[in-house]
Structure 1
């Protein structure tokens, strides 16, 4: 196994650790605060600054990587890194300060009729949550640039490790200080985690080499970079903006726990996307960026095709299995402490309707890398803005007819439209992909998934497996299901299976 494959495996494992720790964070919050109005207040308020945090975290990495490659080819990679760090530090500090000052009016404007602001401590939780998350924006911005830098050097695992430190800090603070600070222990833990992540990078690079402290900022270079970055960042933030729209409509519906349970459902069903889509997209990105830099569009298209295939191979059966076992999954993950059986039932019903959202946004995650590599982020931005308007209209209609379930359903419908538009647009930009390759492998994956799902459903319905405790229930069904799925792919001699079983392989196996 070559270095590239080893790095990919390590990155996948480290991503599992990150997402597993994120899941622990969510279940800690659910177990301690359930679907109370305190949880509603925290989740609704956190969604506001989190749009900007994702704007910086993911958007920065996607914009910085091709930009860094361009300057590094000219021998100016480190100088470019310094310029972007200094520029980002000043911008994020200014935005964070403004956000802290406007915390209270933001809550009242965005959630004017929500239940939680009727309680004085609910409003206090919401305002301080916004303040603390905006206070972290300075460190988030610097961390984001360096994580893009590490990805450019294919040090994916180190980038993931630094993100994991933020999640672990959040968990520790929630566990240790919840009796003293209540749910505010969660954002405080996040703030401390961003500082820890920053210090890890300083120690790794050493303070002297962290940046070129004496180098003056090249304002034209920074301006050029942000001209590319802001449409990319805005596009990345579209998902979070749409989540904010969903939360706004959920808060309008009234009823304690609606906001919280929709969030718990979204977080759970988002795990396969966070693991498979983010991992595969991150690995594909340097490959297609290098292909573009070498003006090799054949390898560029192959990178996109293999990325989509590998995504479908892992994501499709994972979501199908979750659909069959959703109630057991929610029970296993969340149902303890303040999270009751009624919260499980509500969360499960929401999560099933969110499945389409996860599937289509995962496809879009791969497609987006193609736009960013081509420096066509403005296309994604335009499509993203359209999706926001569609989401507002869709939420308004479906929440009227179906209540909170309509909000989850709306998310899946909008995700389908967003993914379809971005896919067809990229197709036209690059002169198409290999249709036979994509269709053949997609059909194989779908057939294998259907056979697996039918088997899971029969076993779940006509045996006593359903009487087992949730963990045993899931394992007893899921493990044979995975085996059946891959056996079917092997019978088809699927492209993915042939690549995995090939001896040795090479660094171009995903190209």
Structure 2
């Protein structure tokens, strides 16, 4: 039956590809249940699903970081691990979740809406096989070149041969994570394209759980305690991939990997992927440059940047990445259907959603920098001096949080249209700006200057992305932005004033027990959020205003 339909030229839907009937529940993008789900909540519903799962992951990530801070503080072992983990993690975000995801999802969406079932399956087989082969070779080379990679990404460690050697040893364990997590990202991209957002969003929880377990239970068995974390990364990569495989199989989307670089879909993905390496992942390149330069500064600088970056990553992942995750497949489908008006409305919706949550989150991080760091990390090996230093970089990163979020939703506006040339040009400009800001700010502000430079370059990136979309006529601001801006400004002002007035001096927090810190911090967060959203409700903002069909 399916073959007859394909031969007749009928457009094959996502349900044809998965083999799932409309009665199976959460249907594909063209299924009746999928359309019903869109009417009930659409992008808002999908975004909330991803946000909830991401929130669980980020909270567990904070627990992980609290555990690492208590056991290892900001010493040489922690610095070595953060560099050894940052290198494959950076490449994961650059290739798997950055360039590859942005190139693969639009091509897959096009195949899913315009091609036959067998053509979609051939694409999945060819892409997964080609990706596996390339990453396996890259991983083998990286493991052989671990000492040189460690020095390249942390040249300051050259002053301490033991620290550099430890970083290289850890890198041999952490780099295979790139292969495993990239295949996990491939699986997640497929599931997201079929509107299965929950599983990929929950998967990072496994990384945090495994790392916590490794830190607690493997550390006593290691000659070098921090090596337990490197083993944890390797185990976590395998666990995350294994977790997603059954869900792909259930949807009939489990590929049979076989490298086929001449496959038209693979060539299209590679063509789009090459310039995308400098597109949406520019912020990750900037963060890696921060690590390189931080290794030249005082010992602990890498860790201070890491801990502050982790706090910024919480709202960025829960809000910015979540919205970007659901918006890319939706924009890709609208572009394939040539629905220009709906495309523009989706972009406008994503900007409003980012500002709704990003602005108060950024301001709260600035006001509550020390209380947050004390409550989460001031245990065991973490010192008062570490809190002071980390708070400086936290405030600097927080100033760029809105820009980081805007990049996550503006870049898909290009990638959904299979335009990766423009973001690469913008990315190069942003990278050059970041280096200029680094050189200007590193001497007066040390590691905090690096964080501030990253934030400044993010605004350059986001601004140029928005201007390009406006010129192409696909970013069209819908009516009501003036009133919306006043509503957000008033809510943020009330929230900041309340937090500033109610929060005790951060030195007082040092003498409190963990439970008192947690209670006060929870009260401030809940009170600030209640004030902000109460103001928005009083001035006319309603949840239904953010419902948009995907």
Whether TM exceeds 0.5 here: the answer is: yes
Question: Within the alignment, does 1:352 sit opposite 2:395 as a pair?
Answer: yes
The answer as to whether partners of 1:232 and 1:378 remain within 8 angstroms in 2 is: yes
Q: How far 1:271 sits from its partner (Å)?
A: 1.2
Moved more, 140-149 or 473-482: 473-482
- Structure 2 unaligned regions, length at least 5: 1-36
Residues 231 and 377 of structure 1 are in contact (CA less than 8 Å); yes or no, is this contact kept in structure 2? yes
Structure 1 position 288 matched with structure 2 position 331: yes
Q: Measure the CA separation in 2 of the matches of 1:419 and 1:265.
A: 22
**Distance in 2 of aligned mates of 1:82 and 1:437:** 46
Corresponding residue for residue 306 of structure 1: 349
Kept in 1, the 8 Å contact 2:199–2:244? The answer is: no
342-351 or 2-11: bigger deviation: 2-11
State which of 531, 536, 539 in structure 2 corresponds to 1:484: 531
Cα distance change on mapping 1:140 and 1:498 into 2, 3 Å = closer
2:121 counterpart residue number: 78
C-alpha displacement of 1:265:
0.8
Structure 2 Cα separation of the partners of residues 245 and 40 of structure 1? 15
- The aligned counterpart of 1:505 is none
Distance in 1 (alpha carbons) for counterparts of 2:317 and 2:84? 22
Are the counterparts in 1 of residues 280 and 408 from structure 2 also a CA contact under 8 Å? no
Deviates more, 1:207-216 or 1:324-333: 207-216
Q: In the alignment, which of 287, 308, 322 is matched to residue 243 of structure 1?
A: 287
State the alpha-carbon separation in 2 of the partners of residues 434 and 374 from structure 1.
19
Q: CA deviation at 1:7?
A: 4.6
Q: Tell me the distance in 1 between the aligned counterparts of 2:268 and 2:475.
A: 30
Paired position in structure 2 for 1:132: 173
- Larger helix share, 1 or 2: 1
Matched, 1:33 2:72: yes
Is it true that 1:420 corresponds to 2:479 in the alignment?
no
Q: Is the 8 A contact 1:62 1:148 kept in 2?
A: no
Q: In structure 2, do the counterparts of structure 1 residues 164 and 57 end up closer, same or farther at CA, with 3 Å as the change threshold?
A: farther
Task: Map 1:403-442 onto structure 2 (within 5 A).
Answer: 403-434=446-477, 436-442=479-485
TM-score by length of structure 2 reads 0.85
The Cα shift of 1:510 comes to 5.7
Change (3 A) 1:437 1:364: farther
Does 198-207 or 341-350 show the bigger shift?
198-207
Kept after mapping to 2: 8 A contact 1:306/1:510: no
Aligned residues: 499
Q: Contact between 1:354 and 1:412, CA under 8 Å: does it hold in 2? A: yes
TM-aligned CA deviation for residue 402 of structure 1: 2.1
CA distance in 1, matches of 2:249, 2:449: 51
Please give the secondary structure, in 1, of the residue aligned with 2:309: helix
After superposition, the C-alpha distances for 1:117-155 in whole angstroms (9 at most, x for unaligned) are: 444431222102322222222222221211100000111
Structure 2 counterpart SS, 1:470: helix
**Superposition deviation, residue 458 in structure 1:** 2.5
For residues 478 and 76 of structure 2, the distance between their equivalents in structure 1, rounded to whole angstroms, comes to 50
Equivalent runs, 1:87-486 vs 2, <5 Å = 87-112=130-155, 114=156, 116-181=157-222, 182-206=225-249, 210-212=254-256, 218-253=262-297, 255-434=298-477, 436-460=479-503, 469-486=516-533
The alignment partner of 1:211 has SS state of: coil
- Provide the C-alpha distance between the structure 2 equivalents of 1:309 and 1:251, rounded to a whole number of angstroms: 38
Question: TM-score scaled to structure 1, two decimals?
Answer: 0.91
SS at match of 1:136: helix
Does the alignment pair 1:65 with 2:112?
no
Per the alignment, residue 499 of structure 1 pairs with 545
Gap regions ≥5 residues in structure 1: 501-507
Contact conserved, 2:286 with 2:431, CA < 8 A, in 1? yes
Check 1:179–1:438 CA distance in 2 against 1; reply closer, same or farther (3 A cut): farther
Q: Is the 8 A contact 2:71 2:381 kept in 1?
A: yes
| CA deviation profile, 1:317-359 (whole Å, cap 9, x unmatched) | 1222222221111011111111122211211122111112222
CA 1:426–1:144 in structure 2 vs 1: closer, same or farther (change >3 Å)?
A: same
Q: What per-residue deviation string (whole Å, max 9, x for no partner) do you get for residues 250-297 of structure 1? A: 1112x2211111111111122111110011121222222221111111
The CA RMSD over aligned residues, in Å, is 2.5
Q: 2:12 is matched with which residue?
A: none
